[in-house]
Structure 1
Amino acid sequence: MDRNILGMVLLMASTTASAQVTLPTTEKATYTRSLSGQWDFKYIAGSSAGSDSLFFMPEYDTGAWKTIKVPGNWELQGFAGMTYGKKVRAGLGLYRRTIDIPAEWDGRGIYLCLEGVNFGYTLYVDGHEAGSFNSSYNRQTFDITRFAQPGHTHTLAVRVDTRPRGFEFDTNDDWSLSGISRDVLLFALPKVHIDDITINTSMDGRVDIEALVAGKGKKDKTVIEGEITDAEGNRVASLASAATTSARHRAAAGVPQPHLWTAETPYLYTVSLRLKLNGQTVQTYNGKVGIREIAWDGGIYRINGRPVKFHGATHHDLSPVHGRSITDEEMKRDLQMMKDANMNFLRTSHYPPAPRLLELCDSIGMYVMCEVPFGFGESNLKDSTFLDDLKNRARLTLRRDKNHPSVVVWSVGNENPVTDIGLKTGLYVASLDSTRPFTFPMTPSVYKDWAEGHKAFDRANGFNSRNTPYIVSPHYPRPSEVAAFAKMYDRPMVATEYAHALGTDFGQMQDIYEVMATTPGILGGSVWEFFDQGILVDTDKKPTPGSKFADYVWPTPGSYYDTSGNQGTDGMTYADRTPQTDYYQARKVYSNIIIREAPLRVLNRFDFTNLSDIDFGWQLMGDGKELASGKLDVECAPHDSTLLSLSPRVPQPLSASKYWISITAKDRQGRQIYEKSVRLCPDGAPGLAQRIGGEPEGRTKVKKGVVTAPGYTFDGNTLSLKNAEGVEIISDMALARIGRKPTLASTATQASRRSSKLHSLWPAYMPGKTVTTVEANNRKGCTARVRFDCDSTRYIDGTVAIEHKPGGIIGYTFDLTAHGNGETVEAGAALMLPKELTNMRYMGNGPYAAYPGRDMLSEYGLWSITSGDLYYPGNRQHVDIALFTDDDGNGFAIVADDADIAVENHDRGIVVGINTHVASAYNKYEWPAGMTETDGLRMKGSFDIIPLTGRWNEATRAIFGQPDGEIPTFMPFYHAYDL
C-alpha cells in the first residue's frame, strides 16, 4: 500500500498539561533564550536531599555550591563515579540558576524546554513546582507563564533523580550518565500559536500540511498560509488553509517536477508558514521538507516506488569527552564518516537522538530508524501500569521526529520480550503514524518464537502482508540463518543488529550482508555498532599492560578510554573515532559498486543512481609503477550489472614481475567510494626471486655447523640467520604456529558458556620448541627434525629443510604434523624476527589485514607498514613478495606464490607466519568459519628467503624504493587492544 511521508519541521514536546508548542523560528532571536552554560550545582549520593530539600526556594543560599556545565553529565565533571548499564547508583543532582524574562515578552506564553535529562527530574520556578518528567531522551516543554513575569528575574531549579520510575528503560547497553545532558531553552509564543504541524508528501510532488492551533477564542478565525521554496530560494508552490474557528487547519500544494528526497539525493525544500488571527499575522515559521514516499507490502519495502537496501550501523549519542552532550561538530563528523564508509542507514540506539542529528541526516542523506525508548526494563514490561509510560514515550518520540524525511522506520523498544503492553505500544505507534512501518527488534530466540506468535497478533488486528503496519527485525543471525530468517515472516526484514563488531575481528559481516544484498525480502541491516562506547579518563591508577592483552585503549600513559571492560569495545571505530579495520571493511562491503572478475562485470547496488553519474578510472600497474591509465564510461541502471570493456596493452618486453589493473570509482563530490585490483598474469614475466637475489657469488663454507654462503651466514646450531654485514635477521627459522594471538572477540567467545561448548581449541597458538635434531647440515643445505610440545597430549613434529641456492637465495621447505585432539583457526610454519626488523614492504593484498570472509577489505598492490602501526597485526593475503627490514635496510625478502602471511608482535620479537590453513575471523560469541581439526593436521609448504643488507640491488630499489626510506607509522595511541 502507498504511504505518504513526512518532511522536517522542528517541534517541541508536550507539556505536563499535554499541550505541544512549536518554535517560532523566524522570531528566534527575539523570543528565544538558550540556558546553556554554568549552573550552580550540588550532587548528593542517595535519594534523599536532606537539609537541601528546599534548595529550589529563591532564598536558599547556594553560595557554597560548585558550578556545572549545562548541558553535560555530572560524572564527567567530577561529581560521581560512572556506571555502565542498569546498575545505576542512587543519586540526586540539584541545579540552580536565575533567568531574566525580557519585558518585550509581555502578553505572550512563556515556555521552558528540556531536550534531555538523565534520568528523571522536577522543575521549579521561584519555588513553585512547574512539573516533572522521567523519560531521559524525550523532549519535554513546560508552560511556565503563570510563574514568569516579563521584565523580572526568576529562580530556576531542577532536581534530577538517577532512579525514577522506569529508569531501567534508559540504560540499554551504554554508559548510564546522569544530569541535564541536552539543551535547555526558554522561549515565548503568542497566545494563539501553532501547537503541532504534520507534513505529508508523496512522490508526485503533493505536500499536505495539517496544523493544530492553540489558544483561540470561540469566535477567533485563523488561517495558515505560506509557500514552498526550492534549495535555490525559488518559490515553487503556495498553500493556504480555509479560515476557520476550528483548531485544525489543512492546506495542500503541488510541487511541479519535484526533486525527490533519498539518501542518495537528499534534496530539501523550505516550507514557510504564517498563522493569521482575524487577518493579522501572529506567528511565522520556516522548516525543511523532503518530498518522498514510503510503501511496504508483499514483503518489499520501497522509497519513491523503488526497492531499497539499508546498509549502516547503530549509533549512540556519546562522546568520549562530552558524554551524552555530543556537539554539533561531533555529530557532523560521525555522519560524514558513515557516508564515507558507504553507509546510508543509522539506527538510533536506544532512544531518540539529539534533534540536531536528525536535521543533519536530512541534509546529508541518511535513512534513520528512530527508536521509542524502552530497551531493558524487562520486568516492567510485565506490569500493565507501565503502559501509559510506554505510550507517552512513543507519543513524544513521534511528535518530535515525525516530520524528518530521514526517519523511515520506528523502532519500538529493543530486544524486549513480547508482552501485552509492548504490543499495545506498537499498535499505538501505528495509530499515530500510518506513513512508516514500526518494528520490534528481537533477539534470535524471540524472533523464532514470534514467527508463530505473530500470526495470532495479525489475526486479532486484521493484519496481513499487504496491510501490515510493522516489519520484522531479528538480531545477530548467522550467515547460514539470514535467508531462513527472511522466510519466517511474510513482510520485509531488517537486521537491526548484526555482526557484532567486538574488538577488531568482525568476521561475519561480509557474508551476512551479501545475503541481505541479494535477497529481495531483506531490507538490509545495521552493524552493532559504529564506535566504541568509551569515556576518556585521566588517571595514574591504571597502568598500561605493556605487551599483555588489554581491554582498553590508552591515548597517553596517563589516560585511557574506559569501555567497562569489553562491554563497550564493540565499535567499527575506537571511542575517539579513529577507524579500526572494521570501518574500512564496512566501507568495502557496503559499496554500491561491486566489480566481479571472470568476466569483468560491475554491479550497480545504488537504489537511485545510474553509474553514468560515477567517474571510473583505471591504471595499468607493473610492480607498483603506473604504465598506462584512462577513464571508463559506464552506463548501468540501479540494481543492474554490465560487463566492463577493459583490456589495456601490457608493454613489451615484460620488465615487471607482477601486473595488475587498478580501477577506482568516485562520486559526484569527488570522493573515492570504491577500488578494485584485477591481477594479470602475462606469460614470460621475470621471476621475483631471481631479480631480488641473483647477485652474490662465491664459495659456501661450513665450520662447526655454521654455513657461510655468499650474502649470509646460517647457523645450523641455533637455526638463525645473519646477512652479509653480520646483522641477525632471523633469530629462529624453525617454529610452528597453530592458532592466533588472542583478541577481544576470541577471548569473549571462548569464555562464553553458550559458545565455549561448541569447539575445543588447541590450547597454545605458538607452542615452544622442545626438540631439534639436525640431520644434515652442509654446503647444500640443512635438514632439521623438530618437535613442539604443547602439553602432555598435544605436540607438533616434522621437518624443516634449508636449501642454499645460487645467487644468495635460501629455499625453505616445511612438513609438519599436529598430534592431539583440538581445533585451530590457523596453522603453518613461522619465523621469529628480531624486534629491530620493524619495516614490512610487500606486494599482495593490502593495506589491511584480511581473512576468509573479509577478503573484500584489501586489494592487490604494493604496500608498506611498520610493526608499530595500529593496522600491522594480522594476515596479508595473496602475497607474492614481502620484505622485512630494519631502518637501514638490513633484513630479508620472502618470495612465495600467493601466500597467506601472518605478522604479530611477540615478547621475543616479531612473528612471521606462513599459513597453510586459515579460518575466518571471530565475531562476539561466534566461532570462525573454516576451523580445522588438529589431530593429524599436516602443514606443508615452501618459499624462498633472500637476505638483504642496506645495499639493495637495482631491481629491489625499483620496486620498493630506497632501503632507508621512511615508512609512515600510524599509531594514535600509546597502547590499544588487539595489538
Structure 2
Amino acid sequence: MDEAPSGPLPYYEDMGPGTGALPPRAWTGVSDARRVSLGGAWRFRLSATAREQDDSFARPGFDASRWDVLPVPSHWPLQGHGRPAYTNIRYPFPIDPPRVPTENPTGDHLRGFDLPGDWPGGAAVLRFDGVDSCARVWLNGEELGTFKGSRLPVEFEVGDLLRPRGNVLAVRVHQWSSGSYLEDQDMWWLPGIFREVTLIERPEGAVTDFFVHCDYDHLTGTGSLRVDCEPQGTVTVPELGLDIETGETVRVPVEPWSAEIPRLYDAELATEGERVPLRIGFRTVGVEDGVLKVNGRRVLFRGVNRHEFDPDHGRAVDLETMRRDLLLMKRHNVNAVRTSHYPPHPAFLDLCDELGVWVIDECDLETHGFEEVGWRRNPVDDERWTPALLDRAARMVERDKNHPSVVMWSLGNECGTGRGLSAMAGWIRHRDPARPIHYEGDLSCADVDVYSRMYADHAESEAIGRRAEAPLPDAAADARRRAMPFLLCEYAHAMGNGPGGLSEYQRIFETYERCQGGFVWEWIDQGLRRRTADGRSYFAYGGDFGEELHDGNFVCDGLLFPDRTPSPGLVEYKKVVQPVGFAADLARGLLAITNRHDFVDLSGLSFRWSYEVEGEPRDEGRLELPAVAPGRTVEVELPRMPRIVRAGDACWTVRAVLAEDTAWAPSGHEVAWAQFEVPRSTAWTRALPGAPHSPRRVEGGMIVLGPGTFDAADGTLRYLDGAVVHGPRLDVWRAPIDNDRGTRWHPQGRLEHLWREAGLDRMRHRIDQVSVGGDTLTVTTRVAPAASDLGLRAVYSWAATGDRLDLTVDVTPEGPWTLPLPRLGIRLGLSPMLEAVEWYGGGPGEAYPDTRQASRLGRYRSTVDGLQTPYVRPQENGARADVRWAELRRSDGAGLRVSGVPPFWFTARPWSTEELDAAEHTHELTRGEAVWLHLDHGLHGVGSHACGPEVLPDFRLAAAPATFSFTFTALRAGRDRPGAIGSGWPSAPRPPFGPDPFAGPGEGPTTDLDAPEQP
C-alpha cells in the first residue's frame, strides 16, 4: 500500500465528489437554447502517472501540435493508448482507500473551438455526460473544477470565460481515483471522455431545473400534472387543452403510460428565457398489499441487465446502437431493463419512454472488491464517503426524474451494507417519494421497498413466492421483508451455452403473485473486437491484454454476441416469456389462449394456425377470437383435420403475430407461438423395401453387411456404400460449457473439474467380441477411463435391409456412477465435403434439454458452418433436438441420411470435440479433415452455474441403461444441393481439401463421397 501522504490528498484521491460543479438538474436533449457539441478530434497525451506532467498544457498558447489526435467520445485504451483490463470483483490495484497507485495512467485532452457567429454571450454551462474516472477541467487557462462519478453528468458555469474565437478546453483525466473504489462494476476498466461534451447557452430567465410530477388514478381514469420549475413559467399540453402555470396542479382524463402502451403527451415548458419540449407520461407506481403495481395492476418484469457496450467503442455507445438494443429487446418480448450498474446515457431513457420499457435506474456505485477483504473499510459504511455517495444519488435522480419509464431507483450494486446507503435512500425518498427504492445487497431490506435477490435457485424462489422463506433473526425486519414484492434482479446467467432453467423460473413468476419476474444477466457479451495477424476477427476477453488480475471470459455472459447477433439464449428467452399462453385439448379440438400481458388485450395480435405432417404444411388459416383482456383465457375451436396423413408425424402450430405495424416491429412480427403434436390413432409400422442381408467375411480382414464394410478385427464401420466412414463409437464427452466450469465460489458444482477428474475426457474403448450370427453383426465393447473401475458396456448390433444399414446400441453402466454424463450417443467422422444439411426435427437453432422451449418441430436446411454457434469462448454448441432424420450432402447431392428411434440429438461440426475443447477463441478453430457427426440419445442440461443454479434434476443425464437405434442410408449424386437457410451465424472461410482423410493407399473401394459416382 502507498504510504500516508505528508500533506493533503490530491484531488483525485480526495474522498469528496469534486469541486466547482453546478447543482445537478434534469436532463433534456433539446431546447431553444443554443448548443455547441465539442465532440470530435481532440489533441491527446498519455502519461504513466498523475504527476508526470505539470498543468502547463492548460495555459493559453500551449503548443500541442505534436500530440496524438483522439476522438471524443472514446476510451483511450481502445484508440491505441494503453490497454483495457477486465475484472469482475477484484480491484486491479491495492485496497487502501482512498489512495491509488502511483502508476496511474493520465490522459491530457485539448480541444480548441470557436463560438457560432450568432452566439449571444452571457451565461453558459459546459456539460460532461461521462468521464472515467476523475477529471480536472480548464477553459482558456482558468480552472473550472474537478469531478468524479464516471457515469454521471457534471456542469460548470463558463459564460464569463468564453471568447468568440480561439477557446481552448483542457481536461486531465485519471484512470484511478478515489472514485474507482465506488466503481467496481463487472466490466472493462476503460478510462476516457466516453460521453458527449456540450456547451449550452443559459439566457436570462432560462430553465434552471424542472420536475414533472404525473400520476394516474386507474379508478377514475384521470391523471394529475404539476411541473415544478425554477424560475416560474408555463406548461402547455395541446392534446389535453392545458395551459397552466408551473407549480399548478391539474387533474384531467388521460390515457396512462405503460411499457405495453407507452402513451406520451407532447408538451412544452416555457420560461422567460427558454422553451423546453417535454414528453409526459401519466403513471403511478407503488407497493400495495405486498405487490408492486403500476396504474393499479401487478406487473411482471421480463427483464435484462444492460451494460452500455460496443465491441469497438466500449461504453461510448451512439444513439443508433441504443435504439437497436431496444428494438431487439421489444422484438424478443423483453419489457424491462435494470441499468447495471450505473445510469445509462440519458438518451437511452428517452427511447425507453418512447418504445415502452420498464426501467430500474441504478446509481453509479459498486464496492464489490471489499468483499475480498471481509468488507473492511467499505466506503458505504464510512461517513467520510457519504458526501460522495449522496452526490451520486442526487446526480442520478435529478438527471432522470422526468422519465415515466423509470419506475424504481436502485442505490447501487454489491456494496455490502452501511450507513451511506441509508443516507442515499433517505435523500431519494425525500426528493422523489413517488418511486420505490431497490437495493439487493442487504438481506434485511432496511432501506428499500422491494425484496431483491441474485441467483436464488428455483426452490428458494418458490419458497419466497409462498412467503415461506427462511426467517430473519429480527422478527420485525422479517415481517417487513416478508410483506414485500420479490424480484430476481439477476438470474439466469447467460454465459456461453445457456442459460438453462428459464421456463421453470417463469412458471414460478406466473404462479406466485409476489414473484414479479427478474432480470437476466446480462444483455450483451462484452467482448472487444480484435484481429489476428492475417486479418481474422475475433472477440477478446479478460487476460487477452496482459492483465495481472483478470476474470477471463466472465465478461462474456450476454444474450447477444458482442456484434449484437442474438444468441440462442435470447431466442429461448423470447419464447419462455412470451406474453401469450397456449394449451390444447386435441381430443375435443379446442385451443385455450391466455393473455399474459399486464395492460393490453389481444386485439393487436393476429392468430394463425398451420397443420403440418412430417414438417410439411398441409393446411393453414386464421383463428378468430374476441379481445381477450389481460389475465383472461378464451377457448377457440381448431379446424377438423385427419389425425394421420401418410401415417407421419402431425402437429398443429399456432402463432400470434402483430396485426399492424408498431414503433418497434412491422406487422406480421411473431410475438408468441406453440406446437401440439397429434397422437397417432393406431400403431403403424412402415413396410421397408428390400431383403435383409447376412454378414460375410471378405479378403483384407473385412466383413460386408449390406452397404456396410466393417473391420473384422474391431467391428468398426469403415465404408458405407463405398464412402469412407470413421466410427461410429460410443461418445460421452463434450467440450465443457461455461456453466460446466462453475464458479470459484461454488467449487462443489464445478462439473468440468469432476468430469476430467473422473476421466470422461479420456475414455478408452476395449473390443471384447466381434461376432457374426444370422443377419446380425454384433460388437461388444467396454468404454472406460484409466485409473477407474467405472465403465460403460456398449453392444453394437448391426443389421441391413436393402440399401439401409441399421444400428442398435445397448449401453449398461458398470460401477458406482455418481456423476452425470456430459452426453450419451455415438460419434462418427465423414467426408469434409458434406456441407449441406437438411433435417426433420427441432430447429432452426440449437437446443439442449433445459433450453428447448424455442425449438420448433419442422424441416430445416442449413450448412455445417451454419449449425455452429460462435460463443466467444468455444464450447459445446449446435445440437438440434427431437430429430427424426438428418441428411448431409455435398454439392452434387451425394451424401448420407440418418434416421433414429427414438428421436435423437443431432450435431455436425467441421472440427472435433477435442479441437473445440482446446480452443480459447473462435479464430483458433479451423476446419479439419472431417465433418464430425454426433448422434446423441441423451445430453446433460446446461443450467446457469457459471454464476447461477446448477442443472435441475430433471435435466441431469444419469448413467443408466439405454437402448437407441439409427439407420444409415447413402444418398446418390444427382439431387440439387438444398438452399442454405440456417441460423445466420457467420461461417469460416472454406479451405481446399485433399484426398479423403480416412482412406489409406490401396484401401477399400475406389469410390467415396468426394468422387463422381461411377456409371
**TM-score, normalised by the number of residues in structure 1:** 0.84
Please point out which of 588, 591, 614 is paired with 1:623: 614
1:428 aligns to what SS in structure 2?
helix
1:350 aligned to 2:341? Answer: yes
2:151 aligns to what SS in structure 1?
coil
- How many corresponding residue pairs? 889
Equivalent residue, structure 2, for 1:604: 595
1:475 aligned to 2:454? Answer: yes
Deviation at 1:882, TM superposition (A): 2.9
1:115 aligned to 2:135? Answer: no
Contact 1:696-1:711 at 8 Å conserved across structures: no
Equivalent residue, structure 2, for 1:679: 677
Deviation at 1:398, TM superposition (A): 0.6
Deviation at 1:363, TM superposition (A): 0.8
Deviation at 1:609, TM superposition (A): 1.8
Contact 1:551-1:744 at 8 Å conserved across structures: no
**1:465-497 superposed Cα distances (whole Å, 9 cap, x missing partner):** xxxx62121011111111223425211111111
Equivalent residue, structure 1, for 2:498: 505
What is the rounded CA distance, in whole Å, between the counterparts of 1:522 and 1:597 in structure 2?
27
Deviation at 1:758, TM superposition (A): 12
Q: What residue identity is the alignment partner of 1:746? A: D
Please point out which of 86, 94, 100 is paired with 2:114: 100
Equivalent residue, structure 2, for 1:55: 57
Q: What residue identity is the alignment partner of 1:591? A: Q
What is the rounded CA distance, in whole Å, between the counterparts of 1:19 and 1:914 in structure 2?
60
Please point out which of 861, 877, 880 is paired with 1:876: 880
1:802 aligned to 2:806? Answer: no
What is the rounded CA distance, in whole Å, between the counterparts of 1:799 and 1:386 in structure 2?
69
Provide closer, same or farther for how the CA distance between residues 563 and 267 of structure 1 changes in structure 2, counting only shifts above 3 A. Answer: farther
Please point out which of 577, 595, 602 is paired with 2:564: 577
Instruction: Within 5 Å, give how 1:792-831 maps onto structure 2.
Output: 792-793=787-788, 794-805=790-801, 808-831=804-827
Equivalent residue, structure 1, for 2:689: 694
Q: Which has the higher strand share?
A: 1
Instruction: Within 5 Å, give how 1:758-797 maps onto structure 2.
Output: 760-761=754-755, 763-765=758-760, 767-778=762-773, 780-793=775-788, 794-797=790-793
Provide closer, same or farther for how the CA distance between residues 807 and 537 of structure 1 changes in structure 2, counting only shifts above 3 A. Answer: closer
Deviation at 1:349, TM superposition (A): 1.3
1:590 aligned to 2:599? Answer: no
Q: What residue identity is the alignment partner of 1:650? A: P
What is the rounded CA distance, in whole Å, between the counterparts of 1:327 and 1:946 in structure 2?
53
Equivalent residue, structure 1, for 2:35: 32
Provide closer, same or farther for how the CA distance between residues 706 and 384 of structure 1 changes in structure 2, counting only shifts above 3 A. Answer: same
How large is the Cα RMSD of the aligned pairs?
Answer: 3.3
Provide closer, same or farther for how the CA distance between residues 272 and 752 of structure 1 changes in structure 2, counting only shifts above 3 A. Answer: same
What is the rounded CA distance, in whole Å, between the counterparts of 2:584 and 2:819 in structure 1?
33
**Which deviates more, 772-781 or 411-420?**
772-781
1:41 aligned to 2:44? Answer: yes
2:556 aligns to what SS in structure 1?
coil
What is the rounded CA distance, in whole Å, between the counterparts of 1:645 and 1:415 in structure 2?
52
2:611 aligns to what SS in structure 1?
strand
Q: What residue identity is the alignment partner of 1:303? A: V
1:586 aligns to what SS in structure 2?
helix
What is the rounded CA distance, in whole Å, between the counterparts of 2:119 and 2:29 in structure 1?
13
Please point out which of 242, 247, 250 is paired with 1:238: 242
Contact 1:41-1:93 at 8 Å conserved across structures: yes
Provide closer, same or farther for how the CA distance between residues 543 and 863 of structure 1 changes in structure 2, counting only shifts above 3 A. Answer: closer
Deviation at 1:845, TM superposition (A): 2.0
**Which deviates more, 834-843 or 173-182?**
834-843
Equivalent residue, structure 2, for 1:210: 227
Instruction: Within 5 Å, give how 1:333-348 maps onto structure 2.
Output: 333-348=324-339
What is the rounded CA distance, in whole Å, between the counterparts of 1:744 and 1:205 in structure 2?
51
1:224 aligned to 2:233? Answer: yes
What is the rounded CA distance, in whole Å, between the counterparts of 2:537 and 2:783 in structure 1?
32
**1:913-939 superposed Cα distances (whole Å, 9 cap, x missing partner):** 33257445453144322389999x433
Deviation at 1:633, TM superposition (A): 1.7
Contact 2:527-2:540 at 8 Å conserved across structures: no
1:894 aligned to 2:894? Answer: no
Deviation at 1:900, TM superposition (A): 4.3
1:168 aligns to what SS in structure 2?
helix
Q: What residue identity is the alignment partner of 1:774? A: Q
Provide closer, same or farther for how the CA distance between residues 750 and 947 of structure 1 changes in structure 2, counting only shifts above 3 A. Answer: farther
**1:636-671 superposed Cα distances (whole Å, 9 cap, x missing partner):** 22122233421431288x325221111111124321
Q: What residue identity is the alignment partner of 1:829? A: G
Please point out which of 642, 656, 659 is paired with 1:650: 642
Deviation at 1:807, TM superposition (A): 5.9
2:187 aligns to what SS in structure 1?
coil
Provide closer, same or farther for how the CA distance between residues 563 and 830 of structure 1 changes in structure 2, counting only shifts above 3 A. Answer: farther
What is the rounded CA distance, in whole Å, between the counterparts of 2:583 and 2:154 in structure 1?
52
1:470 aligns to what SS in structure 2?
coil
1:292 aligned to 2:283? Answer: yes
What is the rounded CA distance, in whole Å, between the counterparts of 1:522 and 1:933 in structure 2?
26
Instruction: Within 5 Å, give how 1:282-321 maps onto structure 2.
Output: 282-321=273-312
Deviation at 1:747, TM superposition (A): 2.2
Please point out which of 505, 512, 529 is paired with 1:519: 512
Equivalent residue, structure 2, for 1:75: 77
1:941 aligns to what SS in structure 2?
strand
Deviation at 1:201, TM superposition (A): 1.6
Provide closer, same or farther for how the CA distance between residues 68 and 945 of structure 1 changes in structure 2, counting only shifts above 3 A. Answer: same
Deviation at 1:237, TM superposition (A): 2.1
Please point out which of 735, 738, 741 is paired with 1:744: 738
Q: What residue identity is the alignment partner of 2:132? A: N
2:156 aligns to what SS in structure 1?
strand
Contact 2:706-2:801 at 8 Å conserved across structures: no
1:250 aligned to 2:280? Answer: no
Contact 1:226-1:273 at 8 Å conserved across structures: yes
2:395 aligns to what SS in structure 1?
helix
What is the rounded CA distance, in whole Å, between the counterparts of 1:483 and 1:616 in structure 2?
33
Deviation at 1:213, TM superposition (A): 2.1
Deviation at 1:724, TM superposition (A): 6.4
Contact 2:718-2:727 at 8 Å conserved across structures: no
**1:906-965 superposed Cα distances (whole Å, 9 cap, x missing partner):** 257514233257445453144322389999x4332132413222259xxxxxxxx85665
Q: What residue identity is the alignment partner of 2:512? A: T
What is the rounded CA distance, in whole Å, between the counterparts of 2:714 and 2:857 in structure 1?
36
Contact 2:799-2:807 at 8 Å conserved across structures: yes
**1:65-87 superposed Cα distances (whole Å, 9 cap, x missing partner):** 11111111111111111122442
- Segments of 5+ residues of structure 2 without an aligned counterpart are 1-17, 94-102, 371-377, 470-480, 662-666, 870-876, 915-929, 990-1015
1:166 aligns to what SS in structure 2?
helix
What is the rounded CA distance, in whole Å, between the counterparts of 1:621 and 1:21 in structure 2?
56
Contact 2:132-2:193 at 8 Å conserved across structures: yes
Q: What residue identity is the alignment partner of 1:210? A: V
Deviation at 1:124, TM superposition (A): 0.8
Q: What residue identity is the alignment partner of 1:399? A: E
Equivalent residue, structure 1, for 2:633: 641
Deviation at 1:60, TM superposition (A): 2.0
Provide closer, same or farther for how the CA distance between residues 292 and 825 of structure 1 changes in structure 2, counting only shifts above 3 A. Answer: farther
Deviation at 1:966, TM superposition (A): 4.8
Please point out which of 939, 948, 958 is paired with 2:970: 948
Equivalent residue, structure 1, for 2:486: 493
Deviation at 1:760, TM superposition (A): 4.0
What is the rounded CA distance, in whole Å, between the counterparts of 2:933 and 2:812 in structure 1?
18
**Which deviates more, 131-140 or 770-779?**
770-779
Contact 1:14-1:20 at 8 Å conserved across structures: no
**1:77-129 superposed Cα distances (whole Å, 9 cap, x missing partner):** 11111122442661111111223234644453111111111111111112111
What is the rounded CA distance, in whole Å, between the counterparts of 1:963 and 1:126 in structure 2?
69
Deviation at 1:629, TM superposition (A): 0.8
2:648 aligns to what SS in structure 1?
coil
Q: What residue identity is the alignment partner of 1:475? A: M
Provide closer, same or farther for how the CA distance between residues 42 and 674 of structure 1 changes in structure 2, counting only shifts above 3 A. Answer: same
Deviation at 1:392, TM superposition (A): 0.8
Provide closer, same or farther for how the CA distance between residues 24 and 364 of structure 1 changes in structure 2, counting only shifts above 3 A. Answer: closer
Equivalent residue, structure 1, for 2:263: 267
Equivalent residue, structure 2, for 1:466: none
Provide closer, same or farther for how the CA distance between residues 121 and 655 of structure 1 changes in structure 2, counting only shifts above 3 A. Answer: same
1:567 aligns to what SS in structure 2?
helix
